[in-house]
């Protein structure tokens, strides 16, 4: 896989965001060990430690 410049990454992110492809953004840009930190009393609190759990959490909102 080729290394992308900051400009290329930003352009791709913008392209997907304008199409409201939020899960595609997660698939392309989030690391496998991404962490999600929520406020202490949030209804979705928890701290997934894997990309699959983080994506699953996002889909439940």
pLDDT tens figures, 5-61: 999 999 999 999 999 998 899 889 988 887 767 777 776 665 555 666 666 666 655
DSSP 36-50: ----TT-TT-----S
- What is the pTM assigned to this prediction? 0.59
| R_g (Cα) of the chain, nearest Å | 13
Rounded distance, CA 59 to CA 61, Å? Answer: 6
What pLDDT does 25 receive?
Answer: 92
Domain limits for position 51: 6-59
Q: Which of 40, 41, 38, 43 is nearest to 54 (CA)?
A: 38
Asked if the structure places residue 1 within a domain, the reply is no
- pLDDT over threshold 70, residue 2: yes
Instruction: For residue 47, give both structure tokens.
Output: 């701290």
Asked if the structure places residue 11 within a domain, the reply is yes
Angle formed by the axes of helices 6-18 and 22-29, to 10°? 160
Asked if the structure places residue 33 within a domain, the reply is yes
Give the total number of structural domains in the chain: 1
């Amino acid at each position: 896989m080729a290394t992308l410049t900051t400009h290329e990454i930003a352009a791709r992110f913008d392209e997907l965001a304008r199409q409201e492809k939020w899960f595609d953004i997660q698939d392309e840009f989030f690391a496998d060990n991404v962490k999600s930190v929520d406020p202490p009393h949030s209804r979705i609190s928890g701290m997934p430690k894997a990309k699959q759990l983080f994506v699953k959490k996002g889909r439940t909102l």
